[in-house]
Structure 1
Amino acid sequence: MFRLIVASIFFSLVSTFSTPIPANYTVFWYQQKVDHFNYNNNDTYQQRVIISTDHWCTDGCPIFFYAGNEGDVFSFANNTGFMWENAPRFKAMVIFAEHRYYGESLPYGDKAFSSLDKVGFLSVEQALADFAELIQEIKSSYPAARQSPVVMFGGSYGGMLAAWFRMKYPHLIVGALAASAPILQFPGLYECNGYNSIVTKSFRSYSEQCYLSIKNSWEAIDRIGANEDGLKWLSSTFGLCKPLTSADDLTAFSGWLQDTFGSLAMIDYPNPADFLEPLPAYPIGVLCSKLQDSTKQDKPLIVDIFNAVSVYYNYSGQRSCFDYKDDSEGGRLGGNGWGFQSCTEMVLPVCTTLNDSMFPLQPWDLVQVKADCLKNFGVSPEELKARWLFGGTNISTASNIIFSNGQRDPWSAGGVLQTYAPSLPAIIIEGACHHEDLRSTGPNDPIPLIRARQKEIMIIKDWIDQYYQAINHLPNEWARDSNLI
């Protein structure tokens, strides 16, 4: 079963991250092709795959497949409770496939990012082909799965992959739930102010003083950091792992703070969560409680900003220093892989040109982006590639894709917010944040979130029923359960 290079490892309620997977599962290492589109390259790498058959009926019952995105696969497996909670109801096998060049699925191992001839195989097309080959291998390795309908799930970039997979390989899956998938956040399709505008609205909805304090902090940081003593003060006040020593460091530090506020807007969930960082329920509200006086100037204001961002980075009180040069969102996402992808196909503009934004004015400069990409990776972005590969807004010929977006999610600015065809429903979830519908149910879940999940379950069941009708096969256990929904 599978092309394994190591023995299977079995786990039960133990995981890399603190939120446990609520099922028994197996980790497989699948020998995957490095290049699916070149017959002169026979290199392979080991792709990490999580599989659970705890609830699978082994008679052609469904397969739930998560399209791994830019991070360790366990981070997504531990934060996609929607799949685990519905696996018993659908009698489904559950699979989480790690994306190439992330987590431990590294072509060329520790040399994965050493040169362009190694990292150049990191692309959407190659990742989708990985998933396609893996699905076919699973159906070959599990004879009882040969007639199993596959439903693909994904959130954020994973949601983009899930949607694009259904467009590219519609014969391999019956449908896809693409949660918070910004497939329209590309040049020419999207107004680059969109992301930061939603972030600003989220903070402002909690407190005008909070919004103004953050808005005023950028010039205060510049004034304080204008000399060596000021840089030392900022480094000491924030307990930075690496001290600020130059104007470039100060720019990086400000960018780090801006990213922090953006991340908080993404994950301002109604229940405590441990996705990017361990956080309380509604963390923006907790942060804004630290920013109640926008009239403070310079150092007193920046001390308040430090106390506020500590809610994000050190709510548990366990962190000894803050690393402003860590761009991996809590060490679980991004890193070198996403930096490379954002310099090739995943060109997702974000800017600030509106005076009411809580962020400093900053246009999106494609010329500078290309220069930086050439310097860092030796490549130049193909900013229109995703549009001609997958159609942009011209997706009405696709089918069976749910596009769900939280109304307060910054990435919804580039999401599909209208129903382009009857089988491409757009579900807008009032008050929700980043792929919140994929998370586990919680005691504080708002009614709109509960209803959105119920609608998604009904649509997925319809896809599966239609599939069984088409192949004239209904698994006995599925047929016996007339009260599935």
Structure 2
Amino acid sequence: MAMTMSQDCALVSRSINTLLVLCSGARLSLGNVLTLCSHRFYGQSIPFGDIEKVMADKQVRACLTIEQSLEDYKNIILSFKSNMSAHHSPAVVFGTGYSGALATYFRIKYPDVTIGALASSAPMFLTGTSNPRDSYCPIVSKYFEDFNRTCYQIIKDSWKKLDDIASQIEGITRLSHLFKTCRFPSSISGARCNEIIFPVSCGSGTMLPPEEFNLTTFEIDCQSRYSVMPNLNFLETYFGNKVSNVIFFNGLRDPFSGEGILENLSESVVVINTTKGI
């Protein structure tokens, strides 16, 4: 009998201890417990201990999804409650940036498991959409410009020089050694191709080089690297639009805040904005 994706990923999770998120809990003075969890396929939560090996395995790679991550968190919360005999204790989920979006999705998907969510600078309009968004670069640039105009101008003028070096023989290698660059994690690019997408564009007039998000190029790259096409309607079809008991906190100097919820949506979905918050 054929297995569903959830059954398949559950079998992988049971056979590979490190696939599930790793958590640490700390008791607080008021009798609460704070639990910090690592997203599957990130940090130490990598099956086989090798992210490149994971991303090359289609069956295992298919378990890197928002649905599976949320199910991890649900199981962890329920396990904590059971192990601590705290079945009736309320749970609140929280996160910053992408994890803030996950906290919101968790509240939508499992309203019976958590009483609410706190989402800080959660880029809700960057996840699961193919529409180019261009607020990220202006916010970054404005912060640098306000802090130090000279620094802002140096960065803005540097791109032509970097392009000139990169065009030379061994230029990319030289720049990599100079700036001690690291590889973009495969788990991030794989998650983008599955569902997240993050269509960030940079327009002209900022300190960063202009770059337009191109959906066709993105789809070709995803097909070439992972043999998948982005699910452009995933969030809408999977979560719908019903949400309650969420606080969206936005530091308006955080570049993700420009794609977040900036106004109250209802009496139970409220927003707190801080002008100079990061």
Deviation for aligned residue 1:97: 2.2
Q: Call closer, same or farther: CA 1:389–1:225 in 2, change over 3 Å.
A: same
Deviates most, 165-174 or 130-139: 130-139
Q: Does 1:432 align with 2:262?
A: no
Partner of 2:189: 339
Deviation for aligned residue 1:139: 1.9
In structure 2, what residue type is equivalent to 1:197? P
Partner of 1:139: 81
TM-score normalised over the length of structure 1: 0.51
Secondary structure, counterpart of 1:176 in structure 2: strand
Deviation for aligned residue 1:323: 3.0
Secondary structure, counterpart of 1:344 in structure 2: helix
2:244, 2:268 within 8 Å by CA — same for their partners in 1? yes
Q: C-alpha deviations, 1:333-368, integer Å up to 9, x for none?
A: xx12111001110111111232x1112221110111
TM-score normalised over the length of structure 2: 0.87
Q: Call closer, same or farther: CA 1:227–1:99 in 2, change over 3 Å.
A: closer
Q: Which has the larger radius of gyration?
A: 1
Partner of 1:350: 200
Q: Call closer, same or farther: CA 1:169–1:187 in 2, change over 3 Å.
A: closer
Partner of 1:176: 117
In structure 2, what residue type is equivalent to 1:339? S
Q: C-alpha deviations, 1:116-173, integer Å up to 9, x for none?
A: 1111101000011111122222222222x11111111111111111111111101111
Q: Does 1:324 align with 2:181?
A: yes
Partner of 2:257: 412
Partner of 1:244: none
Partner of 1:364: 213
1:217-296 to 2 correspondence within 5 Å? 217-228=158-169, 231=171, 235=174, 240-241=176-177
Secondary structure, counterpart of 1:342 in structure 2: helix
Q: Where does structure 1 differ by over 4 angstroms across 4 or more consecutive aligned residues?
A: 186-191
Deviation for aligned residue 1:37: 2.4
1:55-70 to 2 correspondence within 5 Å? none
In structure 2, what residue type is equivalent to 1:323? K
Secondary structure, counterpart of 1:94 in structure 2: strand
In structure 2, what residue type is equivalent to 1:50? S
Partner of 1:150: 91
Deviation for aligned residue 1:187: 6.8
Secondary structure, counterpart of 1:99 in structure 2: coil
In structure 1, what residue type is equivalent to 2:106? F
In structure 2, what residue type is equivalent to 1:205? D
Q: C-alpha deviations, 1:195-229, integer Å up to 9, x for none?
A: 11111111111233332222222122223444338
In structure 1, what residue type is equivalent to 2:116? G
Q: C-alpha deviations, 1:77-110, integer Å up to 9, x for none?
A: xxxxxxxxxx32x420121222211222223544
Secondary structure, counterpart of 1:161 in structure 2: helix
Counterparts of 1:226 and 1:102 in 2: how far apart (Å)?
Answer: 33
Deviation for aligned residue 1:177: 0.8
1:189-204 to 2 correspondence within 5 Å? 192-204=133-145
Deviation for aligned residue 1:388: 2.9
1:440-455 to 2 correspondence within 5 Å? none
Q: Call closer, same or farther: CA 1:127–1:224 in 2, change over 3 Å.
A: closer
Counterparts of 1:390 and 1:400 in 2: how far apart (Å)?
Answer: 15
Counterparts of 1:100 and 1:227 in 2: how far apart (Å)?
Answer: 39
Q: Does 1:381 align with 2:226?
A: no
Counterparts of 1:131 and 1:188 in 2: how far apart (Å)?
Answer: 24
1:36, 1:129 within 8 Å by CA — same for their partners in 2? no
Partner of 2:68: 126
Deviates most, 38-47 or 421-430: 38-47
Secondary structure, counterpart of 2:114 in structure 1: coil
Q: Call closer, same or farther: CA 1:379–1:188 in 2, change over 3 Å.
A: closer
Counterparts of 1:39 and 1:351 in 2: how far apart (Å)?
Answer: 36
Secondary structure, counterpart of 1:360 in structure 2: coil
Partner of 1:50: 24
Secondary structure, counterpart of 2:273 in structure 1: strand
1:373, 1:380 within 8 Å by CA — same for their partners in 2? yes
Q: Call closer, same or farther: CA 1:40–1:416 in 2, change over 3 Å.
A: closer
1:408, 1:432 within 8 Å by CA — same for their partners in 2? yes
More helix by share: 2
Counterparts of 1:104 and 1:406 in 2: how far apart (Å)?
Answer: 29
Q: Call closer, same or farther: CA 1:409–1:226 in 2, change over 3 Å.
A: same
Q: C-alpha deviations, 1:252-282, integer Å up to 9, x for none?
A: xxxxxxxxxxxxxxxxxxxxxxxxxxxxxxx
2:190, 2:226 within 8 Å by CA — same for their partners in 1? yes
Counterparts of 2:34 and 2:76 in 1: how far apart (Å)?
Answer: 13
Counterparts of 2:111 and 2:134 in 1: how far apart (Å)?
Answer: 34
Deviation for aligned residue 1:422: 0.9
Q: C-alpha deviations, 1:394-444, integer Å up to 9, x for none?
A: 4xx4211111111101001111111101111111112011xxxxxxxxxxx
2:222, 2:230 within 8 Å by CA — same for their partners in 1? yes
1:186, 1:384 within 8 Å by CA — same for their partners in 2? no
Q: Call closer, same or farther: CA 1:117–1:51 in 2, change over 3 Å.
A: same
Secondary structure, counterpart of 1:402 in structure 2: strand
